[in-house]
Amino acid sequence: MANAGIQLLGFGLSLVGIIGLICGCIMPQWKMSAYVGDSIITAVAMYEGLWMSCAFQSTGQLQCKIYDSILQLDNALQATRALMIVGIIVSIAGLGVASIGMKCTTCGADDRARKSRIAVTGGIILLVGALCAIVACSWFAHNVIRAFYNPYTPVNTKFEFGAAIFIAWGGSLLDVLGGALLAASCPRSKQLSKYPPKNANASRAPSSAKEYV
């Protein structure tokens, strides 16, 4: 029962992590305009994400524009896109594989050892997907930090971290925890008892008596 509880906990954490990865990938707040320098303009806040850029005005209006051409984007943004999509797809596939091997499902219930191996395989796939998402978020954050501290970057074009990158980071960490729990839920092989069962001698007695007769 404890093993089944660990699997359910890992499945729940992974599911929440995948939802966080999807939400973080869609949201445009991967980086937001940083208010630094002497001339601070707070009337318009700029947001840039993986798929669009938005301008939030002080009146409450939000105007977003989807990137027109993929070829015009820099290589770092394209790589971040690819890694996030791969991480989400691989995580969803790992969650599906893990659900087949969980004890609470009836698929392949005849072979328990095989089901446990399938659950472990799903956990490993989830870890691979989470690793792709972590690399994507860390790479994007590194580029934001490098551009922020670059002395040749204009003050009005400097950006800092937005909410979406933290949501994606949190989702990837939950995905790591869920995948680790599923990968660690493989039961140990049962140790054979040194002493024979009590019913063994009782079952032997009648047969031995018949031999003497």
> Both tokens of residue 149?
């501290």
Q: Residue 41 domain-assigned?
A: no
User: Where do we find the tokens 């691989």?
Assistant: 90
How confident is the model at residue 118, as a pLDDT?
A: 86
- Reduced to 3 states (helix: H, G, I; strand: E, B; else coil), residue 67 is coil
Q: Residue 200 domain-assigned?
A: no
Count: domains in the chain:
1
How confident is the model at residue 7, as a pLDDT?
A: 85
User: Where do we find the tokens 């551009």?
Assistant: 147
Q: Residue 118 domain-assigned?
A: yes
108: left (phi over 0), alpha (psi -120 to 50) or beta: left
Q: Residue 158 domain-assigned?
A: yes
* CB-CB contact of 209 with 58 (8 Å): no
* CB-CB contact of 84 with 168 (8 Å): yes
* pLDDT confidence band for 45 (50 / 70 / 90): confident
What is the 8-class DSSP label of residue 103?
T
* pLDDT confidence band for 41 (50 / 70 / 90): low
Q: Residue 105 domain-assigned?
A: yes
* pLDDT confidence band for 82 (50 / 70 / 90): very high
User: Which pTM value belongs to this model?
Assistant: 0.79
Q: Residue 93: which domain range?
A: 2-30+73-187
Q: Residue 47 domain-assigned?
A: no
User: Where do we find the tokens 């700029």?
Assistant: 46
**Range with the poorest average pLDDT among 68-82, 159-173, 178-192:** 178-192
Q: Residue 124 domain-assigned?
A: yes
pLDDT in tens, 139-179: 999 999 998 888 887 777 788 898 999 999 999 999 999 99
What proportion of the chain, given as a percentage, has pLDDT over 90?
38
The CATH number assigned to the domain holding 87 equals 1.20.140.150
Q: Residue 38 domain-assigned?
A: no
